[in-house]
Structure 1
Amino acid sequence: MKRGKKYLESAKLVDRLKLYDPTEAIELVQKTARAKFDETVEAHIRLGVDSRHADQQVRGAVVLPHGTGKDVRVLVFAKGDKAREAEQAGADFVGAEELVTKIQKDNWFEFDVVVATPDMMGVVGRLGRVLGPKGLMPNPKAGTVTMEVEKAVKEIKSGKIEYRLDKTNIIHCPIGKVSFGTEKLLDNFRVLMGAIIKAKPAAAKGQYLKSVVLASTMGPGIKVNAQRIND
């Protein structure tokens, strides 16, 4: 893969053999973010589990204290009072069967998170094949299948993110924007890591945190010393 001039210049600042302390890593991420837009800072956490086994899944949600810096569009599947509750809480789209049809027929995906009341999951289930691969399927563990619609929407809007393993046993999560500054990014990173460590499955054996890498949208990866996360 051919890299651009800015990326190559940024990569020279990173010692690929070094494990950086979290503060140092976040400061370096900011230095190596050279795009003309406010880049997102992402954490990539490889875990010592096997996601093929149900008892080794790691999935959940956490509210980042400073949010992600992104305006999150929330779609809620609900009816009656719960639909009105979702609208009042600030959901961007609220509906039922008609939204299923719109997604299926118009290939409509103008949303980032899907919330559903439990009674709507039979309807939402028809979208499993299209929402599942995109990581958009509502899930009780992530708090997106709930009767507490108002709480769910407000938390998502204020910075709640979902974390889950991909097929290679890595969790990819945003922890904010470069413009947040070191302190806010560090706060968000520690809260995310705390949640992932707490979610360690009982069936997981050996080293749980295999590697932790931070990077901006267009910047090089920076390895973090996982043992120093709470220092």
Structure 2
Amino acid sequence: MAKKGKRYTQAAELIASAVEDAEGGLPLDTAADLIKKTARAKFDESVDIDIRLGVDPRHADQMVRGSVALPHGTGKDVRVLVLTNEGQQGDARDAGADLVGLDDFVDKIQNDGFTDFDVMIATPDVMPKIGRLGRVLGPRGLMPNPKSGTVTTDVAAAVKAVKSGQIDFRVDKTGIVHTSIGKSSFSTEQIHENALAFIKEIVRLRPAAAKGAYVKSVTLSTTMGPAVPVDRSVGASAAR
């Protein structure tokens, strides 16, 4: 087993001390503050959130998938590809899209495996051409989808939303939703508000078929740091 570094060990000890008397995890604002204190890498670490849900994603009626605009963005420069016909390509460029086109990018993705972008946005009329790219885009989570707002007739608005901090998410096969909600350089308040906005959207999307406890656990972590457990009752609070 690999030996943990000194920074990681110190961070883990600080977290263990904080949660020692906290049954079920820390309040979200306290966890956000602790994340700041334990981010000790020499680069601006990502702040991630993991939520374990009481759903079975094997059943379509228990799938949790959507998008949410984080109040303070993600702190990342998101590279956006827009596939649409010439009529809307100018609007996409004006809105800040990094890559814009159609047939040239479809061929590049299909034949060369091109995936040098973070989000793909497409208009409904070109989806028949994009459908055959699922084998390349699907495993990477890059396939545009109406539920996440990446298949739309208003590409300009979609580009602006993604660039300003909108993120897409989807529960994995183990029932966990994982995403980045900011950077360690964010203030405690920014991390807290981004996390709360994400949790609220997860709670809002609770499937009717989900029975029993819906939010089973919530943790915050940084790229190089240990996880901080959050009181899962934050899910009930977010629903109010």
Match of 1:6 in 2: 7
**Partner amino acid for 1:40?**
S
Q: CA deviation at 1:21?
A: 0.7
Separation in structure 2 between the aligned mates of residue 53 and residue 97 of structure 1, nearest angstrom? 35
Query: What's the RMSD between the two structures over aligned residues?
Result: 1.4
Q: CA deviation at 1:215?
A: 0.1
Deviates more, 1:9-18 or 1:20-29: 9-18
Separation in structure 2 between the aligned mates of residue 8 and residue 135 of structure 1, nearest angstrom? 33
TM-score (normalised: structure 1): 0.96
Separation in structure 2 between the aligned mates of residue 148 and residue 178 of structure 1, nearest angstrom? 33
The answer for unaligned runs of 5 or more in structure 2 is none
Aligned ranges 1:139-218 → 2 under 5 Å: 139-218=145-224
1:13-40 superposed Cα distances (whole Å, 9 cap, x missing partner): 1126641111111111111111101111
Q: Given the alignment of the two structures, is residue 105 of structure 1 paired with residue 111 of structure 2, yes or no?
A: yes
**Partner amino acid for 1:7?**
Y
**Partner amino acid for 1:147?**
T
Match of 2:229 in 1: 223
1:144-199 superposed Cα distances (whole Å, 9 cap, x missing partner): 00001011000000000011101111001111111111011111111111100000
Match of 2:52 in 1: 46
Match of 1:35 in 2: 41
The answer for unaligned runs of 5 or more in structure 1 is none
**Partner amino acid for 1:122?**
P
**Partner amino acid for 2:5?**
G
Alignment: residue pair count: 231
DSSP-derived class of the 2:68 partner: strand
Q: CA deviation at 1:84?
A: 1.4
